[in-house]
Amino acid sequence: MPELPEIENICRDMNKILLNKLILYTTIRCNKFKKYVSKEIKNIKNKKILDIKRIAKYIIIKIKSGYIVIHLGMSGSLFLCSKNEKISKHDHVDLIINNFILRYNDPRKFGLFLWSKNIYKEKFFLRLGIDPLNKKFNLYYLFNNIKKKKIKIKDFIMNNKFIVGIGNIYSNEILFKSKILPYKISMNINLYECNKLLCSIKYILNKAIKYNGTTIKNFININKKIGNFQKFLKVYKKENKKCINCNFLIKKIIQKGRSTFFCKNCQK
């Protein structure tokens, strides 16, 4: 399940390898992909890759006439392969680049492979909150928004309207590090806790980027390198294991339909 750190690393790798390369043509294999793959992707021919960047969890490939927008959902992956590489079951899109292929695979079809003339006018971009690695993501911004809401803090940090890119794994880890219970109501968070939350978000995400993300199940990055951050997970999927700080058993609850892990002793 790629989250912000994984996407950040994928974009960095893609930039190293794909910048200024020519997309000769594309192949789309899924027919029943509904809104998830734009038909316009088929029309891309002989276009140079001008830039690759990340906005929230979207991978944006800029070419002369517009943008390719890729979201990996929870099971999507992008990888480079040769032209003779066998096509697997869920390989939905190929970008043919000189003598190799950038291939998009997504078994669960939660991802997106879209075309946009101008991403900055798309409604899903206009709705996005501030990137947690941006300097504008500061205590003032976080505290102001937290105070406005009456939702559980875990739901707050996973909501793209306020903070982009934080999924279930990192939200659990961030709240553990912040010593805040996941079901604490956001408006009850004080300035001190909010500051801890801010620092924890930046710390966890940067550490995950450094260790190349968390590899659980399907995630493979562009060079099929494997992430190492799972070694550092302290609560996620640690139900009934001892808390590293206090030896209490880690609890699991379901919050907004998502598995939520925490230490009832450490987190207040």
Length of the chain: 268
Distance CA 257, CA 112 (A): 22
Distance CA 207, CA 82 (A): 32
Q: Using the CB atoms, write b or e for 59-82: b if 16+ within 10 Å.
A: bbbbbeebbbbbbbbbbbbbbbee
By CB under 7 A, which span of 21-29, 93-101, 153-161, 242-250 interacts with DNA? 153-161
Residue 3 annotated in active site: yes
Residues 126-145 vs DNA: string with x where CB under 7 A?
A: -x------------------
Specify the DSSP class assigned to residue 232. G
By CB under 7 A, which span of 15-23, 46-54, 62-70, 73-81 interacts with DNA? 73-81
The burial of 27, by beta-carbon neighbours within 10 Å (0-12 exposed, 13-18 middle, 19 or more buried), is given as: middle
Q: Is 115 within 8 Å of 70 (Cβ atoms)?
A: no
Question: Could you tell me if residue 231 is left (phi over 0), alpha (psi between -120 and 50 degrees) or otherwise beta?
Answer: alpha
Distance CA 187, CA 180 (A): 13
Catalytic residue among 57, 177, 238, 251: 57
Residues 214-243 vs DNA: string with x where CB under 7 A?
A: ---x--------------------------
Contacts made by residues 223-227, CB under 8 angstroms, sequence distance 24+: 223/13, 223/79, 223/80, 224/79, 227/6, 227/9
Q: Which residue has the tokens 């909150």?
A: 129
Is 110 a binder of DNA (CB under 7 A)? yes
By CB under 7 A, which span of 12-20, 38-46, 68-76, 204-212 interacts with DNA? 68-76
Among 47, 54, 152, 234, the residue binding DNA under the rule CB under 7 A is 152
Residue 182 annotated in active site: no
Residue 2 annotated in active site: yes
User: Which parts of 172-211 interact with DNA (CB under 7 A)?
Assistant: none
Q: 259 vs 265, which CB is nearer to DNA?
A: 259
For the bound state, the minimum distance from the C-beta of residue 89 to DNA, rounded and expressed in Å, comes to: 5
Is 1 a binder of DNA (CB under 7 A)? yes
Annotated catalytic residues are 2-3, 57, 258
Given the rule CB under 7 A, which residues bind DNA? 1, 3, 56-57, 71, 73-75, 89-90, 107-110, 124, 127, 149-152, 155, 158, 160, 165, 167-169, 217, 254, 256-259
